[in-house]
């Protein structure tokens, strides 16, 4: 996030697009609802489903799945046409505005209505609400990114934010809400095929030399494969061994039959996790790991806040914390060095805080943005990076004075259709997401009986008009099929979903929606198009 969570209260307008915030990020969703009640903040929701946040919104834009880019370009068109742009910000802090403005000349609300299904009048109103606000913030999640045009969608949002000057001050910003408690931290540490820690590119010779000196090893300058590219690499044999830590890709990745084939094909599979997941069931070796409350370290949350994690419980017998597991394997592969500690565990399940702090101090050396954060400073409250020195208080709002590259660049983007379209055989669009009570593949949440009792379980949502035409009633079993697979589950008839669209949550192995989803990839970031595929719905055979 470019801004912190507390600055939501300072916003005049919140544009929430592709994010079911109250269910997937309930604390942030609560802050949004509080802002409406206590500060008269106006919310614009852009989502194919009538999510709970719509009840608190000034306006709901119910776009057809896969048409976000067209909707955003139309908003930009109206803001330019009505001269709601921030000319001073554009002049002093950006470049390539004229090229971008020319690119959206044809993106009228009427043009977008034909693509998105959103009324032109609603697009006009949304653009004027957002463009007229003194402080407006954009929030998005995987409803924007899990498309073959996901990168372009984010670029389009960046254009919208830049043209209105909504960066660098409280109550504004471009704010991606991260999907797990430490996704931001994992990204910061280089868990991406093109980056070393701190978003320093592996193909940058200067950055590579810096890490070679820090670590005392020779490093490749060739970017690796994205997780979605590894699947085919396992099938064709170019990847012979795989080590999975805290991930359940057999259930979470799209086109599940293809994914399972990959993990059944790889010669050697190691899974390190706290439970025997769907992926672990296929492993040659399972390494029992400690859970979040059973280890020391730091998490970095969605607002870039680094926070201490303290061991509250001992792990079960036979389980070790992740640091110890990695170090033990490194030792057995003779990958350690003389100064490395053999184990981070004290031997009785307690984790050595000093050794965890040693790792964090190495992070501080590797990445200047956290150089000023120390364990002692994290004792009471977290600190938001960048924090370059120990007398620095951290950074609530990014880009107050400048951007990393100097001037921010506008990037024209052209909307394109999803990879898979509906046809006579597969007439419905399927979109996917999460629900409040479950978390991802349910490795932890589905083992809680309290949560299971509260959750309705797997269902497919369908609009009443479609259901009446098919003579289907709520609670009946239906079979949903795509070009990749089929699942059978109960149906819920609801007007929260538009005609021609269906929705299934991704948590349930007994009705695994990723048997249906499309693994077509965004050409830039290689994220799969989990939010749009074509399906048919039929009454199940009893």
Residue 14 vs residues 107, 166, 224, 457, 460: alpha-carbon distances, Å: 23, 11, 37, 31, 29
Q: Report the candidate in 259, 263, 286 with the shortest Cα–Cα distance to residue 274.
A: 286
Q: What is the distance between the alpha carbons of residues 413 and 154, in angstroms, rounded to a whole number?
A: 10
Q: Report the candidate in 3, 138, 29, 7 with the shortest Cα–Cα distance to residue 76.
A: 138
Q: What is the distance between the alpha carbons of residues 368 and 387, in angstroms, rounded to a whole number?
A: 8
Tens of pLDDT, residue by residue over 333-350, are 888 655 444 455 555 666
Beta bridge partner(s), residue 537:
480
Q: Report the candidate in 93, 111, 107 with the shortest Cα–Cα distance to residue 163.
A: 93
505-535 per-residue burial string, b: 16 or more CB within 10 A, e: under 16: bbbbbebbbbbbbbbbbbeeeebbbbbbbbb
Is residue 190 left, alpha or beta, with left meaning phi > 0 and alpha meaning psi from -120 to 50? Answer: left
Tens of pLDDT, residue by residue over 447-482, are 999 999 999 999 999 999 999 999 999 999 999 999
Q: What is the distance between the alpha carbons of residues 218 and 213, in angstroms, rounded to a whole number?
A: 9
Q: Which residue reads 């099929």 in tokens?
A: 481
Tokens of 423: 């046809």
Instruction: Check if the beta carbon of residue 18 is closer than 8 Å to that of residue 2.
Output: no
Q: Which residue reads 């259930």 in tokens?
A: 251
- The reported pLDDT for the residue numbered 337 is 56
- The reported pLDDT for the residue numbered 335 is 81
The pLDDT tens digits along the chain (542 residues) read 999 999 999 999 999 999 999 999 999 999 999 999 999 999 999 999 999 999 999 999 999 999 999 999 999 999 999 999 999 999 999 999 999 999 999 999 999 999 999 999 999 999 999 999 999 999 999 999 999 999 999 999 999 999 999 999 999 999 999 988 899 999 999 999 999 999 999 999 999 999 999 999 999 999 999 999 999 999 999 999 999 999 999 999 999 999 999 999 999 999 999 999 999 999 999 999 999 999 999 999 999 999 999 999 999 999 999 999 999 999 898 886 554 444 555 556 666 778 899 999 999 999 999 999 999 999 988 999 999 999 999 999 999 999 999 999 999 999 999 999 999 999 999 999 999 999 999 999 999 999 999 999 999 999 999 999 999 999 999 999 999 999 999 999 999 999 999 999 999 999 999 999 999 999 999 999 999 999 999 999 86
Tokens of 207: 């950055």
Q: What are phi and psi of 289, to 5 degrees?
A: -110, 160
Q: Report the candidate in 523, 515, 440, 514 with the shortest Cα–Cα distance to residue 183.
A: 440
- The reported pLDDT for the residue numbered 344 is 54
Instruction: Check if the beta carbon of residue 495 is closer than 8 Å to that of residue 461.
Output: no
Kindly state the greatest CA–CA separation across the chain.
72
Delineate the domains of the chain, giving CATH numbers in brackets: 5-177 (3.40.228.10), 183-384 (3.40.50.740), 428-539 (2.40.40.20)
């Amino acid at each position: 996030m470019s801004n912190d969570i507390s600055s939501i209260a300072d916003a005049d307008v919140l544009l929430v697009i592709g994010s079911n915030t109250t269910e997937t990020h309930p604390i942030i969703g609560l802050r949004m609802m509080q802002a409406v009640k206590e500060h008269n903040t106006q919310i614009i929701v852009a989502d194919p489903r009538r999510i709970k946040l719509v009840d608190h919104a000034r306006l709901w834009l119910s776009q057809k799945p896969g048409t976000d880019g067209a909707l955003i370009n139309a908003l930009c068109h109206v803001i330019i046409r009505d001269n709601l742009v921030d000319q001073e910000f554009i002049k002093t802090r950006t470049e390539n505005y004229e090229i971008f403005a020319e690119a959206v000349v044809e993106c009228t609300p009427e043009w977008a209505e034909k693509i998105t299904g959103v009324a032109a009048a609603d697009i006009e109103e949304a653009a004027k609400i957002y463009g007229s606000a003194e402080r407006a913030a954009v929030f998005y999640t995987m409803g924007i990114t899990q498309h073959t045009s996901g990168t372009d969608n984010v670029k389009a949002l960046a254009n919208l934010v830049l043209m209105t000057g909504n960066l660098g001050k409280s109550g504004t910003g471009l704010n991606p809400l991260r999907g797990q408690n430490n996704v931001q931290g994992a990204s910061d540490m280089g868990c991406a095929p093109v980056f070393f820690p701190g978003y320093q590119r592996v193909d940058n010779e200067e950055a590579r030399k810096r890490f070679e000196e820090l670590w005392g090893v020779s490093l490749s300058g060739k970017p690796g494969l994205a997780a979605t590219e590894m699947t085919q690499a396992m099938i064709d044999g170019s990847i012979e061994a795989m080590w999975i830590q805290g991930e359940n890709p057999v259930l979470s990745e799209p086109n599940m039959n293809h994914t399972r084939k990959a993990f059944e094909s790889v010669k050697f599979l190691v899974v390190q996790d706290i439970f025997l997941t769907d992926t672990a069931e296929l492993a040659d070796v399972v390494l029992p790991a400690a859970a979040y409350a059973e280890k020391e370290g730091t998490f970095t949350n969605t607002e870039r806040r680094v926070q201490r994690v303290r061991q509250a419980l001992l792990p079960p017998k036979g389980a070790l914390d992740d640091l110890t597991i990695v170090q033990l394997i490194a030792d057995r592969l003779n990958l350690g060095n003389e100064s490395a500690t053999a184990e981070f565990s004290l031997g009785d399940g307690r984790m050595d805080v000093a050794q965890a702090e040693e790792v964090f101090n190495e992070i501080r050396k590797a990445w200047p943005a956290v150089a000023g954060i120390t364990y002692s400073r994290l004792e009471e409250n977290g600190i938001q990076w960048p924090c370059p020195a120990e007398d620095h208080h951290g950074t609530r709002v990014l880009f107050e004075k400048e951007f990393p590259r100097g001037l921010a660049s506008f990037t024209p983007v052209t909307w394109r259709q999803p990879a898979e379209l509906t046809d006579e055989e597969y007439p419905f669009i399927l979109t996917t997401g999460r629900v409040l009570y479950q978390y991802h593949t349910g490795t932890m949440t589905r083992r809680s009986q309290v949560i299971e009792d509260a959750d309705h379980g797997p269902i497919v949502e369908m609009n009443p008009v479609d259901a009446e035409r098919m003579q289907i009633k709520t609670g009946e079993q239906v079979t949903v099929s795509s070009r990749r697979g089929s699942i059978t589950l109960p149906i819920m008839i609801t007007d929260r979903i538009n005609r021609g669209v269906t929705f299934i949550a991704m948590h349930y192995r007994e009705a695994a929606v990723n048997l249906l989803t499309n693994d077509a990839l965004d050409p830039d970031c290689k994220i799969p198009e989990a939010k749009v595929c074509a399906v048919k719905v039929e009454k199940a055979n009893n």
